[in-house]
Amino acid sequence: MKRIIYFVLAILVCGIYVGCSENEIDLYDQTPRINFYSSTHVRTLVDTDYVKIDDPYAVDSFTVRIQGDLLKENRDFCVKVTPNSDYQNSVDVLLESKYTYTELDTVCQVFYYKINRPKVESGRNVYGCYLEFDLDNPLHQFDKGLVEKNQEVLNVRWELKPDEWEDWIFGSYSDNKYMFIMDVCQRVWDDLENEDVDKVKQAYKEYIEAGNPPILGELIMNKTKRNVMRKYIIYIASFVGSALLQTGCYDDKGDYDYHDVNTMEIGIPETKVRMPKEETVEVSITPEISQTLELNEENLVFQWKKTIEGKKAGSDRLSDYKDYSVGKECKVTIEPYESENIGLMLVITDKKNGTTWYQTGEVVIIRPLNPCWFVLQEKEEKGVLGAIEGTPEGYYIYPDVFKSELNKPFPLEGKPLAVSARKNYGDSYLSTMLGYFGFSVSPALMVVTDRDIRRIKYFLNRQEKGSR
């Protein structure tokens, strides 16, 4: 122990000795400076990017933040690409010669550039570089900001596998197999049609005949993504028929009655509900049924199932569901502050032939103020907090959040100055990571007036309501 103490003291003495030199430290004043808002930006390229062969460039963006006094006039700044030694593969980035900060009364602003989509190669699906302010460019009109915010890591990666890949159609998944399918059909998984299966089958036959190596995994060719049960019945019947032909070479004089199987299409309408906060909400869901041999539905028995707590909505595993209701119409009750989507499965049994058909659906819960823009205003010399949620295609305006959500007036006195948000409502990567260390991250707003400052928890969860 004494040796360790002496060693540490020696290091400290040496540090003091060699550190007694006079260094010039740059002092920051309030002149306008510019920083990248984040230190790392990850751009994930997916299957829809792969099929866009007519446009090799994908649009992306970065956010900058003003440091110092707000601008009184427009100012230009320049960005350049520099290598990042952490990545073996570089990124081809197309930047503007200069960008202009035009919103003089805002702290942050978004700017756009283009990425040349790199080729998907085995083991080379992650690319990276730095986006860095070009301080030496004569067109750059901002002083140097924070050292750690002068550049942003750009991480570009490919993730092609679709969420709903089904092994029974084309076999086990591989990137090479999926790229082959997209090259042939020029569309992604979600847009494939029944006739595309035959197209892929023919193309793969020609591919093998040309002497190319097999694509990883068995390439299964089923005709359609629908009516899985129907296809299984047909395949089993074909197998049994072949076996009988092989073993039954005798004159069978039996009297048999062959008939077609009644098949059906099941459609569950999309159901969306805004999260209730005071009273339960009930929604009614009625499926659309079509049958090949029956004109009415007297032959059908309807059983609705609901996902077990903790199981993900949309699961196709029967064990993830429990019995919920019977009958064609399903009435689903949504409790106050229930924020997770509700998964459903409809099981239909044909009493005449004993066949069973399955279809999944879900009730989508729209969580208020997630995401949204908060707007701090002044009305009659009092602060008012408004909000706008949704998209340009459909949005909702809250003129006074405290009045509509809490039935309370704005809690701060004085002239409103600023509002900021900390984290979004719901799960996040940061929340998960901090959870391992016993910490929790709760979403909140910071509201500032010239007389007070207050942290206000979001209005969406029963445990999070309140102030301070």
146 and 41, same domain (yes or no): yes
Q: Note whether residue 237 is domain-resident.
A: yes
pLDDT at 256: 46
Are 359 and 376 contained in the same domain?
Answer: no
- From 366, 385, 402, the end of a domain falls on 366
pTM above threshold 0.85: no
Q: Are residues 268 and 299 in the same domain?
A: yes
- Domain limit, last residue, from 341, 366, 391: 366
Q: Residue 404: inside a domain, yes or no?
A: yes
405 and 453 housed in the same domain: yes
Question: Do 287 and 357 fall within a single domain?
Answer: yes
Rounded to an integer, the average pLDDT of 58-70 is: 86
Give the per-residue pLDDT at 87.
87
Is 16 part of any domain? no
Does residue 407 lie within any of the structural domains? yes
Which of the four pLDDT bands, split at 50, 70 and 90, describes residue 126? confident
Could you tell me the residue range of the domain that residue 305 belongs to?
Answer: 264-366
| In a domain? residue 405 | yes
Q: Which amino acid is at 206?
A: E
> Looking at 366, 390, 410, which one is the last position of a domain?
366
Q: Do residues 309 and 228 both lie within one domain?
A: no
Same domain assignment for residues 202 and 300: no
On whether residue 23 sits in a domain, the answer given is no
The pLDDT, as a whole number, for residue 462 is: 38
Per cent of the chain over pLDDT 90 is 16
Residue 324: closest CA among 340, 300, 347: 347
Q: What is the pLDDT of residues 361-380, one digit of tens each?
A: 999 887 777 778 889 998 88
pLDDT tens sequence across 197-240: 888 888 888 888 888 888 755 455 544 444 444 445 555 556 65
Same domain? 358 vs 382: no
From 252, 244, 272, select the one nearest 365 (Cα to Cα): 272
Per the listing, tokens 């006739």 go with 195
User: Could you tell me if 389 and 348 lie in one domain?
Assistant: no
Q: Are residues 299 and 314 in the same domain?
A: yes
Instruction: Looking at the structure, tell me whether residues 394 and 279 fall in a common domain.
Output: no
- Residues 73 and 129 grouped into a single domain: yes
Determine which of 26-35, 193-202, 312-321 has the lowest per-residue pLDDT on average. 26-35
242-to-245, 249, 257, 259, 303 alpha-carbon distances in Å: 5, 12, 19, 18, 36
| CATH code, domain carrying 90 | 2.60.40.1740
Q: What is the total count of domains within the chain?
A: 4
Among residues 179, 182, 175, 169, the alpha carbon closest in space to that of 219 is found at 169
CATH number, domain containing residue 288? 2.60.40.10
Task: Tell me if 177 is assigned to some domain.
Answer: yes
The answer to whether residue 61 is domain-embedded is: yes
- pLDDT higher than threshold 90 for residue 344: yes
